[in-house]
Structure 1
Amino acid sequence: MNCPIKRWTRRKEARPQEILAAALCLFVEKGYAATKIEDIARAAGVTRGTPYLYFANKEEIFKAVISELLLPQIAQGDEIVNGWQGSARDLFIELMRFWWGQMRNPQLSALPKLMLAEGGNFPDVLELYREGYVQSGNALIRRVLQLGIDQGEFTPCDLDYAVHVVCSPVIMALISQHSLNCLPPDYDPERYLQTILDILLTGLMHRKG
């Protein structure tokens, strides 16, 4: 994974987002501790002191990576659920594909690994990630599952655990891509997601008739 070094071609207002994107790339590539703010500035193509115009320190950059690059996905997912007019089954598929598509970004997909590796050293960052992203995302999935149950499309189940069963295969795939390397050699993200959907929506047991 390479973090390109470039000079600014965008308006000044875009610089914080570019700094965050460069920071995330370096955090994933080198680790948080090994990344210096001057490294981030260099990767973003700005002067050494520019990040300090927007962020007090490296931990504030870490927090902003979560709040500015990751949390907006929750708001987009919320819009999908709130505006849905079709079946709960189709909504479930739409939400899972939205999440999968967002996390296909090479840097964003490495965030679960990054949080496992670095989050324990930064409880404020970990709590922001857990409350703002994990718990909010779980709540979205729970809403869709509850809707399916209420409409008679889904079998009633223990939703406290069902949301984790739904999320776990996705998180496992993301972690495997960046560390465990236990996915098939010819790993196909689309086939993987489709298999998740097939098993979750139809189950493993053959149903006569």
Structure 2
Amino acid sequence: MLELADTGGRRRKQARPRELLDAALAVFVEKGFAAARADEIAARAGVSKGTLYLYFDSKEDLLRTLIAEGFSSRIELRAHQVTASSGASGELLLQALTAWWFSLAEGQAGGIFKLMLTEVRNFPGLADCWNREVMDPVRGLVSRIVLRGIDRGEFRPVDPDLVAHALMLPIVMACLHRHTIGPRVPDDFLMHAPDLLGRHIELVLEGLNWHPDRGQEGGAASAGA
């Protein structure tokens, strides 16, 4: 019996960081990052404030971990999938950006994105964390897929980083709209436009796709423009 109790205690201890992160996200979204208190987060998780500090150094540490968990790990997984895939580069772009869109717009990671929008002005360090953990890796992944498409003859020669910006920034703006203006305007078209993301990516891919009748010269000129 003692052994069983000890095993249960160890399992409980291993689960505690997850419980603290879930509690932190709930309190952050409910009250905002600045107003959230460590003792509230600990109470929501059913532990003391001292226990919280055994696992995390600060509120900032909790939020950084949530960002890494909600975004960074998914981006890294997607990068591995791209490396292993033999599929068409256009399809890989669609998959990667669709996954990123849903993480920004919905669910736990969407809550983190909404939190960043409201708190980043008061906590500039969060902006550095966001760029380092999310924006830079996504930009690198998209650029890598575009370069892959160029090397395979699927895309015409272009600047991969410019394509990454052209694909990413409208998604960020649409998600920004969704989390701020959209909820206050029930009939807002950006909240309900059918397949908005798919059509956006389709338009960019049409410009990217290699068409033999354009000729190498035309593609090269576009890349240098």
Q: Which residue of 2 aligns with 1:72?
A: 73
Structure 2 length-normalised TM: 0.75
Q: Structure 2 CA distance, aligned partners of 1:110 and 1:163?
A: 24
CA contact (8 A) 1:22 1:40 kept: yes
| 2:45 equivalent to 1:44 | yes
CA contact (8 A) 1:119 1:125 kept: yes
1:94-147 CA distances to partner (integer Å, 9 max, x unpaired)?
A: 212332343344331243343233224334332222112210110000000111
Q: Structure 2 CA distance, aligned partners of 1:147 and 1:185?
A: 32
CA contact (8 A) 2:79 2:141 kept: yes
| 2:199 equivalent to 1:199 | no
Q: Structure 2 CA distance, aligned partners of 1:78 and 1:158?
A: 20
Q: Structure 2 CA distance, aligned partners of 1:83 and 1:127?
A: 30
Instruction: Map residues 28-39 of structure 1 onto 2, 5 A cutoff.
Output: 28-39=29-40
Q: Structure 2 CA distance, aligned partners of 1:24 and 1:157?
A: 40
| 2:147 equivalent to 1:142 | no
**Any stretches of 5+ residues in structure 1 without a counterpart?**
1-9
Deviation at 1:31, TM superposition (A): 1.1
Q: Which residue of 2 aligns with 1:3?
A: none
Instruction: Map residues 166-205 of structure 1 onto 2, 5 A cutoff.
Output: 166-181=167-182, 183-184=188-189, 187=192, 191-202=195-206
Deviation at 1:45, TM superposition (A): 3.5
Q: Structure 2 CA distance, aligned partners of 1:160 and 1:77?
A: 18
Greater CA deviation, 141-150 or 190-199?
190-199
Q: Which residue of 1 aligns with 2:62?
A: 61
CA contact (8 A) 2:71 2:133 kept: no
Q: Structure 1 CA distance, aligned partners of 2:30 and 2:150?
A: 42
Q: Amino acid of the residue matched to residue 178 of structure 1?
A: H
CA contact (8 A) 2:149 2:155 kept: yes
Q: Which residue of 1 aligns with 2:94?
A: 93
CA contact (8 A) 2:105 2:178 kept: no
Q: Structure 2 CA distance, aligned partners of 1:146 and 1:54?
A: 41
Q: Amino acid of the residue matched to residue 161 of structure 2?
A: D
Q: Which residue of 2 aligns with 1:17?
A: 18
| 2:27 equivalent to 1:26 | yes
Q: Amino acid of the residue matched to residue 202 of structure 1?
A: E
Q: Amino acid of the residue matched to residue 132 of structure 1?
A: E
**Any stretches of 5+ residues in structure 2 without a counterpart?**
1-10, 214-225
Deviation at 1:66, TM superposition (A): 1.9
